[in-house]
Chains A and B, each alone.
Chain A
Amino acid sequence: MSDNSLSFCKPSITRFLPLLLLPVWFLLYHNLKWLSDKLVNDILGLTAGNHLTESLRFFIFEVPKVIMLLTLIIFFVGIIRTYFSPERTRKALEGKSLFTGNVMAASLGIVTPFCSCSAIPLFLGFIESGIPLGVTFSFLIAAPMINEVAIVLLFGLFGWKTAVIFVVTGLFIAITAGWVIGRLHLEKWVEPWVYELKGGSHLEDEKLTFETRIKMGFEAVKEIVGKVWIYVMLGIAVGAGVHGYVPEDFMASFMGKSAWYSVPLSVLIGIPLYSNAAGIIPIVSALIEKGAALGTALAFMMSVIGLSLPEMIILRKVLKMPLIFTFIGVVGTGIILVGFLFNYIF
């Protein structure tokens, strides 16, 4: 691009802005506990120990913590994603055997930029270049479920172990469910026009300067944090209420380990519930504190995030109903098994 000469002339601020902001971020993040305690105890002058104070303290600490973590991670993920594209992912998946293809598709699903409004062009693009249906599904399951917002919230509210468990089990479900769908040979349930489609010549990736990539990182923060902050606040507000007011072990009777049926029930309830990770994870975190079992809670989260009704409606354009039900059935079974497994282990 000829206009890039412009950014070479003047030393661009874009390149150095992150370096300036990073120390500020760390300073603020490490003093957040102190700051929020100061606000609750000294400025608001609330008595420690009562329900309202503890709920408020939880809220005042957790909201900025989660939003700060989101900002940092989304910025870096935003930059990393500029190096990946559906076009490149498609090229990497072409001609791969079924199992290898499933593993790669699910893994690439995590890093490839994806939004549910692009699900159709992506599906068509994959099928059109001969990528098997099962491999395409591994991608379509992993991409929305294992996203950076979910990972950050799990890390912030549960710790790194739960975040890793979520990613690993999510990958496992995406790989196996895609593989199963591939083995079932369900091409007959894809709308016939899909296979008649002639795609245009494959486009080359845009050549981006590092400045543009950093700008895209900032844009990703603006777009995603701008969209989810309200859900983070609502989710943590409900979580804070549960934290302060609901009695210990309140959830144990219906979401605890002893209630085996709670796992499939959580998955069923999760399908039509369309909330994003930002809203649901803080609430689930509070439920676990009150005696809900980890496996049940994990299954519920995965079902809410991974099996969303709006996405099914979008996919209906290219898939016939039996395939959509098979998709829900296979992924749902995977989630239920994971839920049982975790209730059994922990």
Chain B
Amino acid sequence: MEIKILGTGCANCKNLEKATREAVAELKLDASVVKEEDIVKIMGYGVMRTPAIVVDEKVLMYGRVPSVKEIKEMLSK
């Protein structure tokens, strides 16, 4: 699975990236986590509030930084 973190580099985006990496490691998922900082591409997902998590090109969550536990629940669905 391919996970993208959308964000222009603010503190919350970094927090979300960190939390997502932790969640992926704890779930032992075979997934790549990449950061998308290009605003034009971010807008392409229809996201108006950063940060956001995109899994396989689908927006899973946006506009807040959920806990590692919550991200794990989202990713294991």
A42 in the interface (beta carbon within 8 A): no
With A199-B43, A200-B43, A216-B64 known as contacts, the answer to whether A125 contacts B8 (CB < 8 A) is no
Interchain CB contact under 8 A, B48 and A3: no
* Closest B residue, CB atoms, query A114: B49
> In the bound complex, how far is the Cα of B46 from the Cα of A200, in angstroms?
4
Report the stretch among A27-35, A56-64, A85-93, A260-268 that lies at the interface.
Answer: A85-93
What is the interface size of chain B, counting residues whose CB is below 8 A from a CB of the partner?
Answer: 24
Interchain CB contact under 8 A, B44 and A200: yes
Chain B residue numbers with a CB within 8 Å of A206 are: 61-63
- The A111-130 residues at the B interface (CB cut-off 8 A) are 113, 115, 117-118, 120-122, 124-125, 128
> In the bound complex, how far is the Cα of B50 from the Cα of A75, in angstroms?
21
With A117-B8, A216-B64 known as contacts, the answer to whether A2 contacts B77 (CB < 8 A) is yes
What is the interface size of chain A, counting residues whose CB is below 8 A from a CB of the partner?
Answer: 29
Interchain CB contact under 8 A, A118 and B48: yes
Interchain CB contact under 8 A, A197 and B40: yes
* Closest B residue, CB atoms, query A196: B40
Interface centre among B10, B11, B39 (most CB of A within 10 A): B39
Interchain CB contact under 8 A, B50 and A128: no
Interchain CB contact under 8 A, B43 and A128: yes
- The B24-67 residues at the A interface (CB cut-off 8 A) are 39-40, 42-50, 59, 61-64
Chain B 5-19: CB-based contact to A (< 8 A → 1; otherwise 0):
000111111000000
> In the bound complex, how far is the Cα of B47 from the Cα of A337, in angstroms?
38
Interchain CB contact under 8 A, B61 and A122: no
B2 in the interface (beta carbon within 8 A): no
**B-to-A contact residues, CB < 8 Å:** 8-13, 39-40, 42-50, 59, 61-64, 73, 77
